[in-house]
């Protein structure tokens, strides 16, 4: 199309046929990616390959085969340049417990090539940005998990990168700290106009922050889509809370050709057309049930995801299968 579309920018990260083996263990298999600007969630259970993917993209570990680029730089040969342009918040705590927070963040900046004066000035700025202004001169060994995660974020932001890669930034955080972390990342994307790539095994985190998701399962990408497109793929449903004779209601709906699923007193009916509402009410009358509540059902990301998986015929039977450890051993 000739029209200028602000969202049709080139992807910031790409991968083509990327594979990573740890000895005989295949951790990433045939990864093909195009990550747009904005906030992208990398979802997957423990051992799926999220951290491995990040490390490959940052050029921290060598890939077994395939290729990839970050901001046009080759992940196989230009790792150092990539890391100077990207903020990386690793999964594990690599902070020095004996340092004051401000010195730790300044040190990170210096390691990334900043001069001492700039690094010091930025360390103060970013610590304030992540909510640690008053804790700048406290030793890291006295920090809570939430403060440690915030310090890691400050280290990742010190050189004002274009892209931020955060490996499970909400891990171990309580509700308040989690909310603050997501809010800070949101600000970085919406106000700072930066891109964030965040891994998580919590759907809610991703729904709060991201425009699109990449789902990894056993080293392979199973879904790569904008959240908007995922929502489109899901059939609209009407949700009815009924009283008395739910199974009768179920058979009444089915005999009228209305697809439905029941969860106790709640029945969800697939919205085929405008007349579905009317038909559903007729079914309730015929079944002699009371309708206590009726509304359009709004699926959350988790529902959507499971429905999409179902459609794809993926071997994922439920959230537990999807979001819990695979325990392949060998860590």
Ligand X SMILES: Nc1ncnc2c1ncn2[C@@H]1O[C@H](COP(=O)(O)OP(=O)(O)OP(=O)(O)O)[C@@H](O)[C@H]1O
Tell me which residues touch ligand X (CB under 6 A). Answer: 22, 25, 27, 44, 46-52, 91, 201, 328, 330-331
Minimal distance, residue 166 CB to ligand X, in Å: 12
Residue 274, Cβ neighbours under 10 Å: how many? 7
CA distance 32 to 18: 7
Q: Which does 232 bind (CB under 5 to 8 A by kind): ligand X, Mg ion, none?
A: none
Minimal distance, residue 201 CB to ligand X, in Å: 6
Q: Between the CA atoms of 28, 34, 37 and 40, what dihedral angle is there, to the nearest 10 degrees?
A: -40
Nearest to 14 by CA among 35, 38, 39, 45: 35
* Nearest residue (CB) to Mg ion, 135 versus 200: 200
CA distance 242 to 245: 8
* Nearest residue (CB) to ligand X, 223 versus 291: 223
* Nearest residue (CB) to ligand X, 6 versus 23: 23
Minimal distance, residue 213 CB to Mg ion, in Å: 16
The footprint of Mg ion on this chain (CB under 5 A) covers a number of residues equal to 3
Whether 169 and 149 have beta carbons less than 8 Å apart is answered as yes
Select the residue whose beta carbon is closest to Mg ion and give its number. 51
Query: Tokens standing for 208?
Result: 């709060």
Nearest to 42 by CA among 290, 209, 278: 209
CA distance 74 to 76: 5
Q: Per-residue b/e over 75-94, b at no fewer than 16 CB within 10 Å?
A: beebbeebbebbbbbbbeee
195 binds Mg ion (CB under 5 A): no
Q: Which does 48 bind (CB under 5 to 8 A by kind): ligand X, Mg ion, none?
A: ligand X
Minimal distance, residue 145 CB to ligand X, in Å: 16
CA distance 75 to 5: 28
Q: Which does 331 bind (CB under 5 to 8 A by kind): Mg ion, ligand X, none?
A: ligand X
List phi, psi (to 5°) of 169.
-65, -20
Minimal distance, residue 28 CB to ligand X, in Å: 8
Nearest to 322 by CA among 330, 310, 311: 310
Minimal distance, residue 87 CB to ligand X, in Å: 18
* Nearest residue (CB) to ligand X, 66 versus 109: 66
Alpha carbon distances (Å) from 224 to 13, 111, 229 = 13, 34, 10
Minimal distance, residue 199 CB to Mg ion, in Å: 6
CA distance 18 to 259: 41
Q: Which does 52 bind (CB under 5 to 8 A by kind): Mg ion, ligand X, none?
A: ligand X
What does the DSSP 8-state code read for residue 9?
P
* Residues 30-69 contacting Mg ion, CB under 5 A: 50-51
Q: Which does 228 bind (CB under 5 to 8 A by kind): ligand X, Mg ion, none?
A: none
* Nearest residue (CB) to Mg ion, 91 versus 162: 91
Minimal distance, residue 171 CB to Mg ion, in Å: 9
200 binds Mg ion (CB under 5 A): no
Per DSSP (E only), the strands in 4-76 are 13-22, 25-35, 39-43, 65-70, 73-74
* Nearest residue (CB) to Mg ion, 27 versus 269: 27
Which residues is 22 bridged to in the sheet? 25
* Nearest residue (CB) to ligand X, 43 versus 309: 43
* Nearest residue (CB) to ligand X, 92 versus 243: 92
* Residues 87-116 contacting Mg ion, CB under 5 A: 91
**Which residues of the chain form contacts with Mg ion (CB under 5 A)?**
50-51, 91
């Amino acid at each position: 199309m000739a029209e200028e579309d602000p969202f049709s920018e080139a992807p910031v990260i790409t991968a083509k046929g990327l594979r990573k083996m740890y000895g005989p263990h295949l951790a990433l298999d045939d990864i093909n990616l195009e990550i747009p600007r904005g906030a992208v969630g990398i979802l997957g259970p423990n051992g799926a390959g999220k951290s491995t993917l990040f490390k490959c993209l940052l050029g921290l570990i060598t890939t077994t085969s395939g290729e990839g680029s970050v901001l046009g730089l080759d992940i196989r040969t230009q790792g150092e340049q990539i890391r100077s342009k990207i903020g990386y918040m690793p999964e594990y705590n690599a902070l020095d417990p004996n340092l004051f927070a401000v010195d730790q963040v300044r040190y990170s900046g210096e390691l990334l090539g900043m001069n001492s004066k700039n690094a010091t000035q930025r360390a103060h700025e970013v610590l304030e940005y992540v909510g640690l202004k008053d804790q700048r001169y406290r030793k890291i060994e006295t920090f809570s998990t939430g403060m440690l995660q915030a310090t890691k974020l400050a280290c990742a932001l010190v050189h004002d990168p274009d892209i931020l890669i955060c490996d499970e930034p909400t891990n171990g955080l309580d509700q308040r700290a989690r909310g603050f972390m997501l809010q800070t990342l949101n600000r970085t994307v919406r106000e700072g106009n930066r891109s964030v790539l965040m891994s998580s095994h919590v759907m809610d985190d991703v729904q709060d922050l991201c425009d699109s998701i990449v789902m990894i399962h056993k080293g392979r990408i199973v879904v790569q889509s904008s959240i908007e497109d995922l929502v489109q793929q899901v059939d609209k449903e009407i949700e009815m809370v009924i009283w008395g004779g739910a199974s009768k209601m179920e058979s009444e709906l089915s005999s009228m050709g209305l697809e439905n699923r029941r969860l106790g007193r709640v029945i969800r009916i697939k919205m085929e057309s405008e007349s579905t509402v009317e038909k559903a009410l007729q079914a309730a009358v015929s079944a002699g049930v009371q309708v206590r509540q009726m509304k359009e059902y709004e699926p959350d990301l988790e529902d959507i995801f499971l429905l999409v998986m179902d459609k794809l015929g993926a071997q994922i039977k439920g959230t537990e299968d999807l979001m819990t450890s695979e325990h392949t051993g060998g860590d």
